[in-house]
């Protein structure tokens, strides 16, 4: 078995554990948010400016959580050239539950059948939009633990976000992200540096198990998101400050090159960056406030917990942080505004967007902070260091190349009218969980290489097929370029095949 576990890694942590490769899948159809505004009879700009959304991806009855994850995992494996026999851990983060017992992970094991590899740990992790982050942390812990046998881990995060007609509907979306995890990664999880905040709230949840739609307390949900952001940033900052060398300055936005957020809608993300600036402001020594934050001194009397809906604070710090937002956060919102809220993959779609919008040289050595939020609630802020190796065959170059077609792929989608979108939602609603059921959505509308549902039998067993992977598929060029790169690197590192590995 190939292994990239070196002799120094047998009884300790390997180096630079993190994300080696990524694949983002989004539906091939979208609806224009500006057309949706007209269709829904709301004021122009409500969705596009008020929410910051441009387009929204959606699935017909041909796609479910299993098919989304099958597609993302297939593409990741094809792009990287990593064989299924080289995966030792696979897990799925999702809140799109179509079975209360059987995991999506077990469905993905179909792809492993030809390899004969069934010794693959990991199942599904669930808490709203946080599941993908739990899976990523689990995968990284596995690589650093004695359980690791030198093989790769894969994390798949996927969801279909749909809402009943009404104000929440334009905040839907759908998609899946698959990530290859191991040592010597271009996106390295920073050690000892995570701020987590978990507590019991009913802000957004799905207690009606017969429906795809959530129960949402919109205002509470915003408050929970922002208060979790405050708490995570404070813990993250405290840990960062305790780890830093004495000469270096304490944690603030200055220490971070990019800040990427879970995005229920893009406007909230912009407000969130402003919120971090407000946190920085409140923790700035009093004698430096006037020089660092001229004109904002009056807000020094405010308290974090009183200002979740304080429009003066929000406006002042939105203005203050505008250039910070343009530089550190906006490049991460390409998929979020074009596809919508993908739930668990959202923050990783943000990471992919950020990488795709930059050159290898611009990315090298950068420090990226990620904020993952799941209602209910579970939230973590963590930090990724980007490697400094910019060589043409480096892991970073391969990662950037593999994501460089994101814009082309987003443009290759088909626009659908709001009325067709509404009919599709109605069809999903009426046939959700129906068995037996034969889906009626067109298969031709799907991207090449997409897995789709062909039948649900009378026992609720689901069957899938895959659209042929043709040269037309926008990713094929990139796939060709990077095929086997990760695998070649792994083989080169496999200088120390451990005798006890099986």
| Binding to a copy of itself, residues 420-459 (CB under 8 A) | 433, 435, 459
Contacts of 164 (CB under 8 A, 6+ apart): 213
Cα 99 to chain centroid distance, Å, stands at 23
Q: Could you tell me whether strands 187-198 and 378-386 are parallel, antiparallel, or unpaired per DSSP bridges? A: antiparallel
- The string of DSSP codes covering 317-365 is HHHHTHHHHHHHTGGGGHHHHHH---STTHHHHHHHHHHHTS-HHHHTT
**One residue of 63, 124, 230, 405 binding a copy of itself per CB under 8 A:** 124
116 near a copy of itself, judged by CB under 8 A: no
**One residue of 18, 27, 57, 131 binding a copy of itself per CB under 8 A:** 131
Token code pair at residue 174 = 């759908």
Pick between residue 49 and residue 201 the one whose CB is nearest to a copy of itself: 201
267 is in an annotated binding site: yes
**Residue 460 annotated among the catalytic residues of the structure:** no
Pick between residue 221 and residue 398 the one whose CB is nearest to a copy of itself: 221
What minimum distance in Å lies between the beta carbon of 331 and a copy of itself? Answer: 28
The DSSP code for 385 is E
**One residue of 38, 44, 45, 113 binding a copy of itself per CB under 8 A:** 113
In this structure, how many other beta carbons lie within 10 angstroms of the beta carbon of residue 294? 9
Pick between residue 35 and residue 99 the one whose CB is nearest to a copy of itself: 99
Q: Point out which span in 5-13, 29-37, 249-257, 321-329 binds a copy of itself (CB under 8 A).
A: 5-13
**One residue of 86, 125, 341, 346 binding a copy of itself per CB under 8 A:** 125
Environment class of 210 (CB within 10 Å of its CB; exposed 0-12, middle 13-18, buried 19+): exposed
- Name which of residues 376 to 395 contact a copy of itself (CB under 8 A): 376-378, 380
221 is in an annotated binding site: yes
Contacts of 91 (CB under 8 A, 6+ apart): 105, 122, 123, 124, 125, 135, 138, 139, 153, 154, 155, 156
123 near a copy of itself, judged by CB under 8 A: yes
Binding mask 170-209 for a copy of itself (x = CB under 8 A): ---------------------xx-xxxxxxxxx-xxxxxx
497 near a copy of itself, judged by CB under 8 A: no
State the catalytic residue, choosing from 95, 107, 184, 212: 95
- Name which of residues 289 to 348 contact a copy of itself (CB under 8 A): none
Task: Give Cα separations from 411 to 49, 60, 405 (angstroms).
Answer: 21, 19, 10
State the catalytic residue, choosing from 69, 107, 129, 224: 129
The whole-angstrom separation of Cα 488 and Cα 141 is 24
**Residue 444 annotated among the catalytic residues of the structure:** no
Measured between its terminal Cα atoms, the distance across the chain in Å is 7
What minimum distance in Å lies between the beta carbon of 390 and a copy of itself? Answer: 26
- Name which of residues 63 to 102 contact a copy of itself (CB under 8 A): 95-102
244 is in an annotated binding site: no
State the catalytic residue, choosing from 262, 266, 334, 489: 262
User: CA Rg, the chain, in Å?
Assistant: 22
Half-sphere exposure of 232 (CA within 13 A, CB side): 28
Pick between residue 116 and residue 294 the one whose CB is nearest to a copy of itself: 116
**Residue 200 annotated among the catalytic residues of the structure:** no
Cβ atoms of 29 and 445 within 8 Å: the answer is yes
Pick between residue 176 and residue 274 the one whose CB is nearest to a copy of itself: 176
- Name which of residues 226 to 245 contact a copy of itself (CB under 8 A): 231, 235, 238-239, 242-243
Residue 64: name the closest of 102, 33, 36 by CA. 102
Say how many residues touch a copy of itself, by CB under 8 A: 86
Cβ atoms of 453 and 442 within 8 Å: the answer is no
The whole-angstrom separation of Cα 352 and Cα 368 is 12
Q: Point out which span in 104-112, 315-323, 406-414, 472-480 binds a copy of itself (CB under 8 A).
A: 104-112
- Name which of residues 143 to 162 contact a copy of itself (CB under 8 A): 144-147, 149
Residues annotated as catalytic are 95, 129, 262
Q: Residue positions in the annotated binding site?
A: 221, 267, 271
Q: Residue positions in the annotated binding site for CoA?
A: 221, 267, 271
């Amino acid at each position: 078995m190939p292994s990239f576990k070196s002799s120094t890694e047998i009884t300790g942590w390997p180096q630079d554990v993190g994300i080696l490769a990524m694949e983002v899948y989004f539906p091939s159809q979208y609806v224009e948010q500006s057309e949706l505004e007209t269709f829904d009879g709301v004021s122009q700009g409500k969705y596009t400016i008020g929410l910051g959304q441009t387009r929204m991806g959606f699935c017909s009855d041909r796609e479910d959580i299993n098919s989304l994850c099958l597609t993302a995992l297939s593409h990741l494996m094809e792009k990287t050239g990593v064989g299924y026999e080289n995966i030792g851990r696979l897990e799925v983060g999702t809140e799109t539950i179509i079975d209360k017992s059987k995991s999506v992970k077990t469905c993905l094991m179909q792809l492993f059948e030809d390899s004969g590899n069934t010794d693959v740990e990991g199942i599904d992790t669930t808490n709203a939009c946080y599941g993908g982050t739990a899976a990523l942390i689990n995968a990284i812990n596995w690589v650093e633990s004695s359980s690791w046998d030198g093989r790769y881990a894969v994390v798949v995060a996927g969801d279909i976000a749909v809402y009943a007609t009404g104000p929440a509907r334009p905040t839907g979306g759908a998609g899946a992200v698959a990530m290859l995890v191991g040592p010597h990664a271009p996106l390295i999880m920073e050690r000892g540096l995570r701020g987590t905040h978990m507590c019991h709230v009913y802000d957004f949840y799905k207690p009606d198990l017969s429906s795809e739609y959530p129960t949402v307390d919109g205002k509470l949900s915003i408050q929970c998101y922002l208060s979790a952001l405050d708490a995570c940033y404070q813990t993250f900052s405290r840990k960062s400050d305790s780890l830093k060398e004495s000469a270096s300055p304490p944690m603030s936005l200055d220490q971070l090159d990019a800040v990427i957020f879970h995005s229920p809608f893009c406007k909230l993300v912009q407000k969130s960056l402003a919120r971090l600036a407000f946190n920085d402001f409140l923790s700035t020594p009093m004698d430096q406030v006037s020089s660092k934050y001229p004109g904002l001194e009056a807000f020094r009397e405010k308290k974090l917990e009183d200002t979740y809906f304080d429009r003066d604070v929000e406006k002042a710090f939105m203005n203050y942080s505008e250039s910070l937002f343009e530089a550190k956060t906006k490049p991460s919102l390409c998929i979020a505004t074009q596809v919508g809220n993908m739930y668990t993959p959202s923050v990783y779609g943000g990471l992919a967007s950020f990488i795709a919008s930059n050159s290898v040289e611009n990315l090298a050595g950068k420090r990226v902070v990620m904020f993952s939020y799941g209602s209910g609630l579970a939230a973590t802020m963590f930090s990724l260091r980007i490697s400094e190796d910019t060589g043409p065959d480096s892991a970073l170059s391969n990662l950037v190349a593999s994501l460089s077609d994101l814009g082309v792929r987003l443009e290759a989608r088909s626009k659908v009218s709001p009325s067709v979108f509404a009919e599709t939602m109605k069809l999903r609603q009426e046939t959700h969980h129906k068995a037996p059921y034969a889906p009626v959505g067109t298969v031709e509308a799907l991207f090449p290489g997409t897995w789709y549902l062909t039948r649900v039998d009378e026992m609720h067993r689901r069957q899938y097929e895959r659209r042929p992977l043709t040269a037309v598929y926008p990713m094929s060029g990139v796939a060709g370029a990077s095929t086997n790169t990760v695998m070649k690197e792994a083989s080169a590192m496999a200088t120390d095949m451990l005798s006890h590995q099986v």
